[in-house]
Structure 1
Amino acid sequence: MNKRVPVPVNPPHPGRRRFLKGTVAAGALLGANLSGFGTSFASSGPQGGPVTLMDPGSQQKFVNPLPIPPRIYATSDSPLTIPIGATAQWMGLVDAQGTQLRTPVYGLGVAGQFTTPGPTIIARQNETVHVNWQNQLPDDRPHLLPVDTGMHIPDVNSPDGQFSAQKPVVIHLHGGHSEAESDGNPLAWYTQGYQSTGPEFAKQEYQYDNTQEAMGAWYHDHTVGMTRLNVHAGLHGMYLIKDDNEQRLIDNDILPSDHHMIDISITDALFDDQGQLYYPGWHGQPINPITQKAIQDSWPNPSILDEFFGNFILVNGMVWPKMDVEANKYRFRLLNASSSRTYVLEFENKMPFYQLGSDGGFLDKPVQLTQLVISPAERMDVLVDFTQAAGSQIILRNHGPEIPFRGFVDPADPANATKLVYNEDGERSISDGHGGLAPIASPDNTGVIMRFDVAEASDAIPAQAAQFTETVPLRTPYQPIARDNVAVVRQLIVYPQDDDLGRELNLLGTPESGSVFFMDPVTENVALNTTEVWEVYNATASGHPIHVHQVQFEVIDRQEFDWEFTPREQPLMNTGRTFEGATIELQGVKGDRVLPQPNEQGRKDTVIALPGQVTRIIAHFDLPGEYVWHCHIITHEDYDMMRKFVVT
């Protein structure tokens, strides 16, 4: 076994819905390790009594500096051990007296501390990195958040059913081109000291070969039936790959140096009045103030809910922070780490910015935007030039909906590629009863992300900063995935259902299989080293961010379609119960094909499958083994909107 060596760490940087009708179209390191959280730890757990939710209006905005996660520069000769544990972290919350409230979370460790988000790991192209994600979660207290034990979850001895002892985890490198054994299979979970392991657990030390070009991935927990809980509790962080081309752009002052490259991970949350994370699920406790969905008496206690939306916005684990920036250009590595929320980001002054890349790396050339749609699990690499904003304060706002995203392209106006369509009348807010489909984020809380305080101009500003345009080449000409040798075109369907208790249950499947569960027989058997087109037909009323493991795909287009929905009785997993499943007969497409947005025209691993539309993607599968594809609204993924695919 390779000898463990110290890990280099950089200093902190300054500074219920129904289906559609078939004809409808930062400062210092975060946190500190604590031996226990005290009697208030389990306020949203099995011992929790009455809960009072914290009012987001009780907290000041733009007071605390944006924290910058520590960075680990990984190398092939220095295997990493990243501990996973419990801590209490200050997230910017205070009580009525102004006393800081520390929030119990799960974090990832570096330099003797656990933080959420965890450290940003920076690797080089084609340099293999080994990581041992070491589970140190405590075995003397219940899980931080309420676990619905009636679902497909790890088979771990848990006397009270709430994982008061062993707590399973498994880390997935999202966006990684990883061998199957290191991919973070949801059934490859393990507990502290590997006391218990999942049926597909394969190895303790994961291998990442980093064969992609420069890109921004992220890592997060992927435990079957518990991903929403472990990620929301804090188990996620960024993973960046660098290459010679990126260094060339930096050396030629086309891109800022790493000192002006800032990781920005956006999440939403609910808190109780003690500053603890609140996750609805237990009977008799408050419902989610945004979704307003009550837990029925006939449901399990606790129960999963179909989505989670919080009324607090956090950036790098801090509620509504501010960041002091120079009158200069900055590169922001954006990540939407939220469970269900899609953000539509825009500077309050309508200032333009450039998107440099998406999930899988650089675009050919920058795309100038004033508004950016980023769905759960997507990453965006953007350049913001504050040169002309010297001495000002600029708020980054969110115009996204308070429900899962439902569309941003008007098929009647495809040329207007950045137009957002939430309502039939084209307005971005609820109108007076006319076609209102999506309540927009509140301008007082969820519509606000953070603020940038720009310093006065200085002579240190490079001349190139003001000259950056959409004509700047970012890479050698993009070589699209060859479309003249497609082995298979698959038709995949997003099925809308409710389970036998009336809880929303979105499932995946094919026209032949009908709606199926994660552990039903595999329908996506892929031949090694072949290219396939996947057509994802979304028959639900919401957009779903679809993520495919192993590959970086390309978005071909989207198009409206017609279908016939036929209910059928089928088993509900292995519960011995039945529910009303479905089959869908596809009846053809209609209207024009809508090309991907300009900033979707690179390599991606997550794409929004819009309601009433087929979303076509193309991918080349060159690694053997068992992988998964799923919706990245992770409440959907956990129950049970995930399927295996096997490459042989």
Structure 2
Amino acid sequence: MMLTKFVDPLPLVETIQPVCLINNIPYYELSMKENSQKLHRDLPPAKIWGFNGHYPGPTFHVWRNQPVYVLWKNELPLKHFFPIDTTVHGASKNVPQVRTVVHLHGGVTPEGSDGYPEAWFTRGFEKIGIHFKHKVYFYPNQQPATTLWYHDHAIGITRLNNYAGLTGFYIIHDQNEKNLHLPSEPYDIPLLIQDRSINEDGSLYYPSQTTPPNETVNPSVVRVFFGDFILVNGKVWPFLEVEPRKYRFRILNGSNSRFFRLTLNNGDSFIQTGTDQGLLPTPIKVYSLLLAPAERADVIIDFTDQLNQTIIINNDAETPFPNGDKPNLETTCTVMQFRVNKPLLMKDQSQVPLQLALESIIKEEPQYKQRNLLLNMQTDPYKRPIHLLNNQKWSDPLTEIPKLGSTEVWNLINITEQSHPIHLHLVRFQLLDRQPFDVNIYKEKGKIVTTGAKRKADLNEQGRKDTVRANPGEITRIIVPFGPYTGLFVWHCHILEHEDYEMMRPYYVIS
């Protein structure tokens, strides 16, 4: 099926408003609902699951040090509309098909509000074990200005719930960011980029089998998923009409498995001002912007001298990344279009200052605990290859138990053939470096023999992060301050097909 590009305007996602104040704390309510939504002008409406019935969900705009309450409601049907593999951990036949728990990705939140994968809740008022219909979360918002996002995190079906549409932006503002005079609303626009496959009748397609099919398990979890169409804010290949001035775009790769390497077809650069956890130390000019699933980039595009031009964001990232196939030139190579055709409403007084973030660099010290953590593969009882963290499964005993207030260096040793975006809940870490090593020697002898020098983090990765690309055949080192809360959290690969099937582990911060 072919669809015409650039016929739908980019949806500008609405901002959610609090219902009321509780002890001077804003209180919000969101319901997860089934709805129908047109993904392209020439398609019938598709069934989606969305927050307040919208895909993407409404955007939160909150201020640093102003906490909020959020009541998440599950008002979804009792039966899933995507195939569920009941051999996957947490998704067995003895649990409800439709389960949800919301994670504020990148949020520094207490244990009870983090969205632990097993703390799911269902539709209806009945209590099932520790699980309830509704859950009120408390978000302190104590971190610096940044672009976060919220999404479903239910164990065993995260890939399906997110693919159905349960995703939205959560943006924290602060006075430092405001004082920088970066482009602001309406010239500050979040962009949720995802891939999807769509049936002829307009409905979303998600595979029930990998290729070749597994004869033992049907439906079966797939190793990775790559859709045929690129959507931005829920529309296939949209366009955005802009003024000849600077715009700020908060770009999120919300795909299940697809990496994006974004470029502008006129050869201009992105000016990157922020990453996952807020502003970079200084603006970085990048002509190619690589984003793994769950990574974010805060960028400025200057359209000042582009009046009457059209500019396309293209993608040339391999699937799987980095050793797979190039995107299709007719479809997944294209993301969206800008049309510089609107009159300048007022003089552009926004700035790109030379200095941005106020946070200091986290320095590595000899006393910091070092953890070597393997990213590897194994075969499951049905002879399917699965990805693991440190050769362990979700239900294995806890092994990562950092102390509150401690700082550790995690060495992610990737002996698989693809990059894994590793996400840690609770913390805001920093990428130290990457170093190649001999994978064959490691597999044979369990010994690390490096084959090159350490490479420092790219300039546009040198801010605080919560998700990092761990490349194949490399040791990726991150430095992690643990706090400010104790409790049970998780770390995992954010390729959702990997996360759902064992590439996720709990960790516990102790006092």
Give me the TM-score of the superposition, normalised by structure 2. Answer: 0.94
Distance of aligned partners of 1:644 and 1:143 in 2 relative to their CA distance in 1, 3 Å threshold: same
Classify the secondary structure of the residue corresponding to 1:350. coil
Structure 1 residue 69 displacement after superposition = 1.1
Match of 1:62 in 2: 6
Distance of aligned partners of 1:490 and 1:247 in 2 relative to their CA distance in 1, 3 Å threshold: same
Structure 1 residue 196 displacement after superposition = 4.6
2-structure distance, mates of 1:270, 1:328: 35
Write out per-residue CA displacement over residues 335-364 of structure 1, whole angstroms, 9 at most, x where no aligned residue: 000000000000111111200000000011
1:539-558 to 2 correspondences below 5 Å: 539-558=415-434
2:192 is the counterpart of 1:271: no
Classify the secondary structure of the residue corresponding to 2:61. strand
2-structure distance, mates of 1:341, 1:241: 26
AA paired with 1:103? A
Distance of aligned partners of 1:566 and 1:501 in 2 relative to their CA distance in 1, 3 Å threshold: farther
1:165-314 to 2 correspondences below 5 Å: 167-197=98-128, 204-250=135-181, 255-281=182-208, 293-298=211-216, 300-314=217-231
Structure 1 residue 78 displacement after superposition = 2.5
2:381 is the counterpart of 1:500: yes
Distance of aligned partners of 1:458 and 1:127 in 2 relative to their CA distance in 1, 3 Å threshold: closer
Q: Could you tell me which of 146, 161, 177 is aligned with 2:83?
A: 146
Structure 1 residue 204 displacement after superposition = 2.0
Structure 1 residue 459 displacement after superposition = 7.3
Q: Could you tell me which of 467, 470, 479 is aligned with 1:609?
A: 470
AA paired with 2:332? T
Match of 2:357 in 1: 475
Classify the secondary structure of the residue corresponding to 1:635. helix
2-structure distance, mates of 1:196, 1:496: 37
1-structure distance, mates of 2:129, 2:62: 29
Match of 2:285 in 1: 368
AA paired with 2:480? A
Write out per-residue CA displacement over residues 220-272 of structure 1, whole angstroms, 9 at most, x where no aligned residue: 1000010000000000111000000111123xxxx112211111000101111
Match of 1:21 in 2: none
1:328-367 to 2 correspondences below 5 Å: 328-367=245-284
AA paired with 2:27? P
Write out per-residue CA displacement over residues 176-207 of structure 1, whole angstroms, 9 at most, x where no aligned residue: 00101100000000101353546587982111
Asked if the contact 2:263/2:313 (under 8 Å) is kept, the reply is yes
Match of 2:298 in 1: 381
Asked if the contact 1:66/1:323 (under 8 Å) is kept, the reply is yes
Asked if the contact 2:121/2:133 (under 8 Å) is kept, the reply is no
AA paired with 1:498? T
Match of 2:438 in 1: 562
- Identity among equivalent pairs (%): 39
Asked if the contact 2:249/2:299 (under 8 Å) is kept, the reply is yes
Match of 1:132 in 2: 71
2-structure distance, mates of 1:199, 1:643: 20
Classify the secondary structure of the residue corresponding to 1:123. strand
1-structure distance, mates of 2:133, 2:411: 32
Asked if the contact 2:152/2:166 (under 8 Å) is kept, the reply is yes
Asked if the contact 1:175/1:549 (under 8 Å) is kept, the reply is yes
Distance of aligned partners of 1:388 and 1:304 in 2 relative to their CA distance in 1, 3 Å threshold: same
Q: Could you tell me which of 102, 106, 121 is aligned with 2:49?
A: 106
Classify the secondary structure of the residue corresponding to 1:389. coil
1-structure distance, mates of 2:84, 2:232: 26
AA paired with 1:79? Y
Structure 1 residue 563 displacement after superposition = 5.1
2-structure distance, mates of 1:156, 1:185: 21
Write out per-residue CA displacement over residues 269-313 of structure 1, whole angstroms, 9 at most, x where no aligned residue: 11111111111115xxxx7xxxxx221222x11110100000111
2-structure distance, mates of 1:496, 1:129: 40
Asked if the contact 2:149/2:169 (under 8 Å) is kept, the reply is yes
Structure 1 residue 157 displacement after superposition = 5.1
AA paired with 1:272? N
Distance of aligned partners of 1:295 and 1:78 in 2 relative to their CA distance in 1, 3 Å threshold: same
Q: Give unmatched runs, 5+ long, in structure 1.
A: 1-54, 95-99, 288-292, 407-436, 510-514, 568-582
Asked if the contact 1:188/1:197 (under 8 Å) is kept, the reply is no
2-structure distance, mates of 1:303, 1:377: 24
1-structure distance, mates of 2:14, 2:133: 29
Write out per-residue CA displacement over residues 300-330 of structure 1, whole angstroms, 9 at most, x where no aligned residue: 1111010000011100000000010001110
Moved more, 594-603 or 72-81: 72-81
2:487 is the counterpart of 1:625: yes
AA paired with 1:360? Q
Asked if the contact 2:431/2:477 (under 8 Å) is kept, the reply is yes
Structure 1 residue 591 displacement after superposition = 1.3
2:369 is the counterpart of 1:488: yes
2-structure distance, mates of 1:644, 1:377: 19
Match of 2:55 in 1: 116
1:23-42 to 2 correspondences below 5 Å: none
1-structure distance, mates of 2:414, 2:126: 41
Write out per-residue CA displacement over residues 339-395 of structure 1, whole angstroms, 9 at most, x where no aligned residue: 000000001111112000000000111000111001100011000110111111111
Match of 1:391 in 2: 308
AA paired with 1:240? I
Structure 1 residue 72 displacement after superposition = 2.1
Q: Give unmatched runs, 5+ long, in structure 2.
A: none
AA paired with 1:190? F
2:25 is the counterpart of 1:77: yes
Distance of aligned partners of 1:376 and 1:256 in 2 relative to their CA distance in 1, 3 Å threshold: same
Asked if the contact 1:485/1:531 (under 8 Å) is kept, the reply is no
Write out per-residue CA displacement over residues 100-158 of structure 1, whole angstroms, 9 at most, x where no aligned residue: 4000010001xxxx10110111111011111111110123xx30110001111256756
**What is the total number of aligned residue pairs between the two structures?**
505
RMSD: 2.1
Structure 1 residue 461 displacement after superposition = 3.6
Asked if the contact 1:486/1:533 (under 8 Å) is kept, the reply is no
2:481 is the counterpart of 1:595: no
Structure 1 residue 589 displacement after superposition = 2.5
Asked if the contact 1:271/1:278 (under 8 Å) is kept, the reply is yes
1-structure distance, mates of 2:73, 2:131: 18
Classify the secondary structure of the residue corresponding to 1:449. strand
Asked if the contact 1:181/1:203 (under 8 Å) is kept, the reply is no
Give me the TM-score of the superposition, normalised by structure 1. Answer: 0.75
Distance of aligned partners of 1:489 and 1:198 in 2 relative to their CA distance in 1, 3 Å threshold: farther
Asked if the contact 2:51/2:57 (under 8 Å) is kept, the reply is yes
Classify the secondary structure of the residue corresponding to 2:159. helix
2-structure distance, mates of 1:566, 1:380: 34
2-structure distance, mates of 1:592, 1:198: 51
